[in-house]
């Protein structure tokens, strides 16, 4: 195969081919190609929401599955998420204008006393990749940070991360404070981090423990769908 054939010119692909090529480019973490593909679809009259869901979110879903199955690893996923972010940067202002339906909003942060953030960052990126809006509080968050942020941002989901056995119990402090204030049931609480497990998540009153970023996305989608169904039924 000659070099000429290797150079795919995105603008010459039809819509379906372009979308599939964008999935490949996302998978390979090719930021500039994702920006170009996003712009081409918009120029062709695609709605921003369709570009988001059909090219970017669908592409990140493939990345998420392969990450979950151990085919891809953290560095590759971070590259893919970075490429996704570049596409999102183009779409965000347009999505706001068109009032596109939103998946939901998540406030996430590592708990007080803990400065680990790779896992949390990965969850943030994968959640954005799935079309959620994410507010990242960073590391070392006391209970006040979480409570202020979920109220101010009108979040649907609170995500807490801990990587140390010594900081894990702080998650319960946050959940207990939410219970005391009578707001616990207003939010979906997801927890994660290496030393945690399902039993711990249940014991502290979280809605779910997510063992990795791919699981966090799937769990968040399930809970949001359930929430929408309850609202519709009510």
- C-alpha dist (Å) from residue 157 to 147, 150, 151, 163, 221: 12, 8, 11, 20, 11
Decide: residue 211, CB within 10 A, 0-12 exposed, 13-18 middle, 19+ buried.
middle
Q: Are strands 157-161 and 188-192 parallel, antiparallel or unpaired?
A: parallel
Q: What pLDDT sits at residue 233?
A: 80
Res 4: pLDDT:
43
What is the pLDDT at residue 6? 62
pLDDT at position 3, please? 41
Instruction: Write down the pLDDT at residue 64.
Output: 86
Helices 213-233 and 118-129: crossing angle in degrees, nearest 10, is 50
Domain ranges of the chain: 9-100, 102-234
Question: In this predicted structure, what is the pLDDT of residue 78?
Answer: 87
Task: Give strand ranges (E) for the chain.
Answer: 105-110, 133-136, 157-161, 188-192, 208-209
Could you tell me the two tokens for 133?
A: 């809006």
Query: Which residue pairs, CB below 8 angstroms and at least 24 apart, start in 91-95?
Result: 91/38, 91/48, 91/51, 91/52, 91/56, 94/42, 94/48, 95/48, 95/49, 95/52
Its CATH class, for the domain covering 9-100, is: mainly alpha
**3-state SS assignment for residue 190:** strand
Domain 102-234 has CATH 3.40.50.280: yes
Mean pLDDT per 10-residue interval, the chain, length 234 residues? 63 97 97 98 95 92 89 91 92 81 90 92 86 94 98 97 96 98 97 95 98 90 89 77
């Amino acid at each position: 195969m000659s070099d000429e054939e290797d150079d795919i010119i995105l603008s010459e692909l039809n819509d379906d081919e372009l979308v599939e090529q964008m999935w490949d480019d996302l998978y390979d973490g090719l930021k500039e190609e994702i920006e170009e593909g996003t712009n081409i679809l918009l120029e062709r009259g695609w709605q921003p929401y369709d570009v988001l869901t059909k090219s970017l979110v669908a592409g990140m879903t493939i990345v998420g599955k392969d990450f979950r199955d151990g085919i891809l690893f953290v560095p590759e996923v971070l590259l893919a998420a970075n490429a996704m972010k570049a596409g999102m940067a183009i779409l965000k202002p347009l999505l706001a204008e068109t009032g596109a339906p939103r998946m939901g909003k998540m406030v996430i942060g590592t708990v007080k006393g803990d400065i680990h953030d790779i896992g949390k960052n990965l969850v943030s990126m994968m959640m954005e990749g799935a079309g959620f809006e994410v507010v990242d509080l960073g590391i070392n968050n006391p209970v006040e940070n979480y409570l202020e942020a979920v109220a101010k941002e009108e979040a649907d989901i609170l995500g807490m991360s801990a990587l140390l056995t010594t900081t894990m119990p702080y998650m319960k402090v946050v959940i207990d404070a939410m219970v005391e204030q009578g707001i616990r049931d207003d939010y979906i609480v997801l927890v994660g981090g290496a030393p945690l497990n399902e039993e711990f998540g249940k014991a502290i009153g979280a809605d779910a423990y997510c063992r990795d970023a791919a699981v966090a996305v799937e769990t968040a989608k399930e809970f949001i769908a359930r929430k929408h169904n309850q609202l519709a039924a009510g």
